Amino acid sequence: MEKFTIKDLYAKPTEFADKQVEIEGWIKTSRGSKKICFIEANDGSFLKNAQIIVKNDNPDFDEIRKWPIASTIRVNGTFVSTPDAPQPFEIHASKITLEGHSNSDFPLQKKEQSYEYLRTLAHLRPRTNTFYSVFKVRSMAAFAVHQYLQSRDFTYVNTPIITSSDAEGAGETFRVTTMDMNNLPKTEDGKVDDSKDFFREKANLTVSGQLSVEAYALALRNVYTFGPTFRAENSHTARHASEFWMIEPEMAFADLKDTMEVSEGLVKYVVNYLFEHAKEELDFLNSINEGLIDRLKETVNEDFAKVTYTEAIKLLEESGEKFEVPVKWGIDLQSEHERYLCEHIYNKPVFLTDYPRNIKAFYMRDNDDGKTVAAADLLVPEIGEMVGGSQREEREDKLRAKIDEFGLNEEEYNWYLELRKYGETVHSGFGIGFERLVMYVTGMANIRDVIPYPRTPGNAPF
């Protein structure tokens, strides 16, 4: 008798009809009477369970009925099609064995446990339908990102996680050290001697791979990073984590319009990939997160809107809406503004372009108006900002002046300036917060519920 996964059985029910099959799995539910026992088993290969029927002619019937939830079982039996029942088939067990014990205090027995509580069970929560679906979707979304970019000749570049540079000078960083904190080496003036640390200087966790990956765009044309980044910010919102994954495509010979095309294409590709490969998971998520599938259908069927920052400010001012942070040209838009734009004015994803230069990073290319930069952020319903992109300042003299103007240490950016000194090239790129994308495609409202083991201030267990 060949071993099958439950996914196999669901994939070709007619092929298995009346055949003998063997599966392994975990007991999800067990109920019945003195005559018959119904066990729903899941083997992790598929969201849905296989229904197992055990009759009381089984000599171990009384024992089997008592096996606790989460026990590991092996079942041999007949595959019986049940076209009129909620599930398409049952397995009538001829033999069923306990392969591994479980325990009656298994904490996931009750339905409707809160997400907050389940976060304390990060090692067990993927066994629930919700988190099974979220993490299947997360995995497929990651693969779809790679597939989209690789099929367009983007080269995947693993930029460094530990770095002695602090990237854009933005964002609090985590220090990485091997020094004994209770016995720190000191310099003559009594300060900590960083030159005695592992890397012989201060080193941090990266906040972005963009600058490093630009060097690769200027050699391999289309490139991208996809890796973890870190922010040591003491924020406790539902959209921020201390550790999260970013996708950062970067393209030589490409301008701002190209970043919008590629990022719109990428988001739509991911959604279409999920429609094709994660049907059961999306259906389940749609049943708990209302409107999810409709929103995703709109995402792939409509062109994203485009509006300049200046025009958006006007629209917000004219909306008559009271915002917590008052709207005026020059402000850094808050989540409330971003969401109002895409949820109330456009009702779909919106690219906001040409932001004031003073609220954006030094590396963005100055527009000719002297006030704005060639930036384009993608705002999406429910989430707010999902993508931040820009054309990079490729003009060596202007970049050098801006590094000075922004108060950055020019020496630290020598290598970055050399990328312009040796082949000034129009180039552009964008970053997608991968968890924001996963929240968008799963409908989950808290970033802690789309990361296997989320890290936030005060929380790094497991």
Residues 254-313 that bind its own copies (CB under 8 A): none
Shortest distance in whole angstroms from residue 420 CB to its own copies: 8
**What type of residue is 89?**
F
C-alpha span between 134 and 291 (Å, rounded)? 16
Q: Are strands 375-380 and 222-230 parallel, antiparallel or unpaired?
A: unpaired
Q: Which is nearer to its own copies, 309 or 416 (CB)?
A: 416
Q: Where are the beta strands (DSSP E) in 336-444?
A: 350-353, 375-380, 384-391, 427-433
User: If DSSP codes are grouped into helix, strand and coil, which group holds residue 440?
Assistant: helix
Do the beta carbons of residue 441 and residue 137 sit within 8 Å?
A: yes
Site for its own copies in 128-167 (CB under 8 A): 131-132, 135-136, 138-140, 142-143, 146-147, 150, 153, 155-165
Q: Which of 32, 88, 192, 257 binds its own copies (CB under 8 A)?
A: 192
Strands 50-55 and 89-100: parallel
Q: Does 76 bind its own copies (CB under 8 A)?
A: no
- The yes or no reply on residue 326 touching its own copies (CB under 8 A) is no
CB nearer to its own copies: give 219 or 359: 219
Name the residue nearer to its own copies (CB basis): 150 or 358. 150
Half-sphere exposure of 174 (CA within 13 A, CB side): 18
Query: Contact between 406 and its own copies (CB under 8 A)?
Result: no
Check binding of 409 to its own copies (CB under 8 A): no
Q: How far apart are the C-alpha atoms of 91 and 81, rounded to whole Å?
A: 9
Q: How many CB atoms lie within 10 A of CB 146?
A: 14
Q: Does 80 bind its own copies (CB under 8 A)?
A: no
- When the beta carbons of 146 and 400 are compared against its own copies, the nearer one is 146
Does 177 bind its own copies (CB under 8 A)? Our answer is yes
Structure token digits, residue 100: 């591994």
* In contact, 23 and 4? CB cutoff 8 Å: yes
Contact 72, 41 (CB under 8 A): no
Compare residues 157 and 376 and give the one whose CB is closer to its own copies: 157
Site for its own copies in 85-114 (CB under 8 A): 99-103, 106
Stretch that binds its own copies, among 181-189, 371-379, 398-406, 441-449 (CB under 8 A): 181-189
At its nearest, how many Å lie between its own copies and the CB of residue 242?
A: 7
x/- letters, 28..67, toward its own copies (CB under 8 A): ---------------xxx----------------------
Query: What's the token pair of residue 117?
Result: 């509580």
- Assess 379 for contact with its own copies (CB under 8 A): no
Q: Based on CB atoms, which residue is closest to its own copies, 239 or 395?
A: 395
Q: What is the dihedral of CA 258, 261, 267, 269, to 10 degrees?
A: -110
C-beta of 220 vs 331, nearer to its own copies: 220
- Does position 212 bind its own copies by CB under 8 A? yes
From the list 452, 448, 18, the residue with the least C-alpha distance to 237 is: 448
User: Is residue 410 a contact residue for its own copies (CB under 8 A)?
Assistant: no
Encoded tokens for 197: 């640390």
317, two tokens:
């001012």
- Kindly tell me which of 244 and 340 has the beta carbon lying closer to its own copies: 244
Question: 22, 166, 168, 243: which one contacts its own copies (CB under 8 A)?
Answer: 243
Q: Is 422 in the site for its own copies (CB under 8 A)?
A: yes
Closest approach of its own copies to the CB of residue 395, in Å: 8
- Shortest CB 416 distance to its own copies, Å: 8
- As given in the structure block, the two tokens for residue 444 are 């989950």
Give the interface size with its own copies as a residue count (CB under 8 A).
Answer: 104
If we measure between CA atoms, which residue out of 289, 300, 222, 293 comes closest to residue 254?
222
Amino acid at 35: K
The tokens describing 419, both together, are 């990328």
C-beta of 138 vs 348, nearer to its own copies: 138
244's enclosing H/E stretch is: strand 243-252
Residue 424 engages its own copies in binding (rule: CB under 8 A): yes
